[in-house]
Amino acid sequence: MVSRGRRIALVLLLASCAFLLSGRLTARQATVTTFLDRYAAGQFEAVVDELGGDLDFEELLKQLKRDGPGWIDAAGPELRERRELVAVTFALEAARADQWYQWKWIWLPPEMKAIGAPPGMVGGSYQPFPILDWRPAPLFIEWACERLRKDTTPRPIERWWQLAALAVAQRSEDVHFLVGDPNIGRGTGAGEIGNLQDEIKHLDHVSARFPSEPRFMLAQGIARPQWPEDAFKAFGALLGDEDVGGEAAMRAGALEMRLGQRAEALQYFEMAEDRTRDPYVVYLARFFTGQIRERQRAIHAATEAYRGAVAAWPHAQAATMALASLLFDAGRRVEAQTLAGAMLAAKPPARDPWREFVHADNRFWPQLVGRLRAEIRK
- In whole angstroms, give the CA distance from residue 149 to residue 359: 25
Each as own residue / partner, the long-range contacts of residues 54-57 (CB below 8 Å, 24 or more positions apart, any chain) are 55/29, 55/97, 55/98, 56/26, 56/29, 57/94, 57/97, 57/98, 57/101, 57/102, 57/135, 57/136, 57/137, 57/140
- Predicted pLDDT of residue 89: 98
Which residues are CB-neighbours of 203 under 8 A, at least 6 positions away?
Answer: 178, 179, 216, 219, 220, 223
pTM for the full predicted model: 0.88
- Are 286 and 310 spatial neighbours (Cβ–Cβ below 8 Å)? no
- Predicted pLDDT of residue 329: 96
- Predicted pLDDT of residue 318: 98
The dihedrals phi and psi of 50, each to the nearest 5 degrees, come to -70, -35
What is residue 124's DSSP assignment? Answer: G
- Are 278 and 247 spatial neighbours (Cβ–Cβ below 8 Å)? yes
Report the C-alpha dihedral over residues 160, 137, 49, 30, rounded to 10 degrees: 110
Burial class (CB in 10 A: 0-12, 13-18, 19+), 13: exposed
Query: pLDDT tens track of the chain, all 378 residues?
Result: 444 444 444 434 444 444 433 433 344 789 999 999 999 999 999 999 999 999 999 999 999 999 999 999 999 999 999 999 999 999 999 999 999 998 999 888 888 776 655 554 555 677 788 888 999 999 999 999 999 999 999 999 999 999 999 999 999 999 999 999 888 888 877 778 888 888 999 999 999 999 999 999 999 999 999 899 999 999 999 999 999 999 999 999 999 999 999 999 999 999 999 999 999 999 999 999 999 999 999 999 999 999 999 999 999 999 999 999 999 999 999 999 999 999 999 999 999 999 999 999 999 999 999 999 999 999
- Are 181 and 193 spatial neighbours (Cβ–Cβ below 8 Å)? yes
Type of residue found at 298: A
**CA of 115: how far to CAs of 100, 126, 127, 129, 165, in Å?**
43, 11, 14, 18, 47
- Predicted pLDDT of residue 24: 31
Burial class (CB in 10 A: 0-12, 13-18, 19+), 35: buried
- In whole angstroms, give the CA distance from residue 31 to residue 16: 24
- In whole angstroms, give the CA distance from residue 287 to residue 280: 11
CA angle, 164 then 170 then 176, to 5°: 125
Greatest Cα pair distance in the chain: 83
- Predicted pLDDT of residue 183: 82
- Are 266 and 289 spatial neighbours (Cβ–Cβ below 8 Å)? yes
- Predicted pLDDT of residue 19: 40
- In whole angstroms, give the CA distance from residue 71 to residue 84: 9
Report the C-alpha dihedral over residues 168, 174, 179, 185, rounded to 10 degrees: -170
